[in-house]
């Protein structure tokens, strides 16, 4: 068995990690921290986990918890894991961080997009970017992973075949995306109360959303283009649903290509990927609910001259905790799909 600790387990991604780890045949949860919920039974905060965790409580983090633990998942808010990371790297064999603290290769981007300097830039090169379908080779033999954000995951999977085949202009990518409210986290906020969100649909983070440089970083890597030749206009929206994410990308083609040719390219690219479904229909958030699977599709529009690429995921599973488990499986040398489902929950 692989002994697992979850730091920041009281949030929604932490709850999803607890659910997935319980179903995992090789993972045993040794501790689940939640400083704001310390002493609270897991089942009291998340009754859905009662059958799995009984009377086990959230505990405050302290370094002694790391003794005898093989793998740590960090589900902390941005910035918090930077203060702990040197200690975690010394204390356990594998670290999988779900926050944005170690996703960006350029430390100079953190002040611009996150409002503060990176506290431990010397640790950034130790982390690989954990999107297995696109960067699997980086994960093999690694011991520290930065799990991509939910929007960058859905966007990169929707765009990758086009970027790898050099079929689009990387200087004018437009991405409109929609997320369920769970993406804002568990703590209550004025913008995410029921009365605010119900029967409403709104854009947010206009021109400044923190996932923009992460998306551009993937575009650079997948296309081979210079950073100066990559520009992404990213606009996220909040939808009145609990979980789920849909991205719609508008792209200028580099040449003439039909929808049939594009769909064939997508099927060829993802033919061996068990967690990507290429569909002729428009991808659906509900089709992905509770699964680690992304649904993608693509269209070429000769009338407007645009290519439209679409991707749907569950923002808490493939967009966070499921992808974290998928990465951890690779680090540990386990079959990649261990403990994960490619099948969604419906209705």
Domain locations in the chain? 2-126, 151-314
Domain 151-314 of CATH type 3.30.2130.10 = no
**Distance, CA of 194 to CA of 124 (rounded, Å):** 38
- Say what the pLDDT of residue 187 is: 86
pTM over 0.75: yes
- Say what the pLDDT of residue 234 is: 98
Which region holds residue 96: left if phi is over 0, alpha if psi is between -120 and 50, else beta?
Answer: beta
List b or e across 161-185, with b for residues whose CB sees 16 or more CB atoms inside 10 angstroms. Answer: bbbeeebbebeebebebbbbbbbbe
Cα 30 to chain center, whole Å? 24
Question: Reading across the β-sheet that carries 94-97, which strands appear in turn?
Answer: 27-32, 2-7, 71-74, 94-97, 144-146, 128-129
And the tokens for 262?
């594009």
Q: Does 21 qualify as catalytic in the annotation? A: no
Asked if pLDDT for residue 188 goes beyond 90, the answer is: no
Contact 211, 234 (CB under 8 A): yes
Catalytic residue among 150, 249, 288, 327: 150
- What single-letter DSSP state applies at residue 317? I
* Helix, strand, coil tally for the chain in percent (to 5): 40, 20, 40
What is the per-residue pLDDT across 148-186, written as a single tens digit (0 to 9) for each?
999 999 999 999 999 999 999 999 999 999 999 999 998
Contact 231, 217 (CB under 8 A): no
- Say what the pLDDT of residue 165 is: 98
Average pLDDT value over all residues in the chain: 97
pLDDT confidence bin for 93, thresholds 50/70/90:
very high
Class of domain 2-126: alpha beta
**Distance, CA of 215 to CA of 232 (rounded, Å):** 8
What is the per-residue pLDDT across 4-61, written as a single tens digit (0 to 9) for each?
999 999 999 999 999 999 999 999 999 999 999 999 999 999 999 999 999 999 999 9
- Say what the pLDDT of residue 45 is: 97
């Amino acid at each position: 068995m692989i002994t697992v600790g979850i730091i920041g387990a009281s949030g929604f991604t932490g709850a999803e990690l607890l659910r997935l780890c319980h179903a995992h045949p090789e993972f045993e949860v040794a501790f689940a921290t939640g400083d704001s919920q310390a002493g609270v039974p897991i089942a009291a905060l998340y009754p859905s986990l009662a059958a799995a965790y009984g009377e086990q409580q959230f505990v405050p983090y302290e370094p002694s918890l790391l003794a005898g633990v093989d793998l740590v998942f960090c589900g902390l808010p941005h910035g918090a894991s930077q203060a702990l990371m040197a200690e975690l790297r010394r204390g356990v064999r594998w670290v999988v961080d779900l926050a944005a603290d170690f996703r960006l290769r350029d430390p100079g981007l953190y002040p611009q997009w996150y409002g503060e300097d990176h506290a431990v830039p010397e640790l950034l090169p130790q982390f690989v970017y954990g999107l297995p379908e696109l960067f699997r080779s980086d994960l093999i033999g690694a011991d520290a992973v930065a799990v991509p954000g939910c929007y960058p995951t859905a966007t990169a999977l929707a765009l990758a075949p086009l970027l790898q085949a050099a079929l689009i202009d990387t200087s004018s990518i437009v991405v409109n995306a929609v997320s369920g409210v769970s993406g804002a986290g568990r703590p209550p906020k004025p913008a995410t109360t029921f009365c605010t969100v119900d029967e409403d649909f709104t854009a947010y983070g206009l021109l400044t959303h923190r996932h923009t440089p992460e998306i551009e970083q993937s575009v650079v890597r997948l296309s081979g283009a210079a950073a100066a030749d990559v520009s992404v206009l990213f606009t996220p929206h909040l939808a009145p649903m609990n979980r789920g994410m849909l991205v719609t990308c508008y792209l200028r083609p580099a040449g003439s290509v039909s929808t049939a040719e594009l769909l064939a390219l997508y099927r060829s690219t993802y033919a061996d990927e068990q967690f990507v479904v290429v569909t002729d229909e428009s991808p659906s958030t509900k089709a992905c609910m509770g699964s680690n699977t992304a649904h993608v599709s693509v269209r070429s529009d000769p009338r407007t001259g645009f290519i439209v690429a679409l991707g749907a995921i569950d923002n808490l599973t493939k967009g966070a905790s499921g992808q974290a488990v998928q990465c951890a499986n690779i680090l540990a040398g386990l079959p990649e799909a261990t403990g994960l489902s490619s099948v969604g929950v419906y209705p």
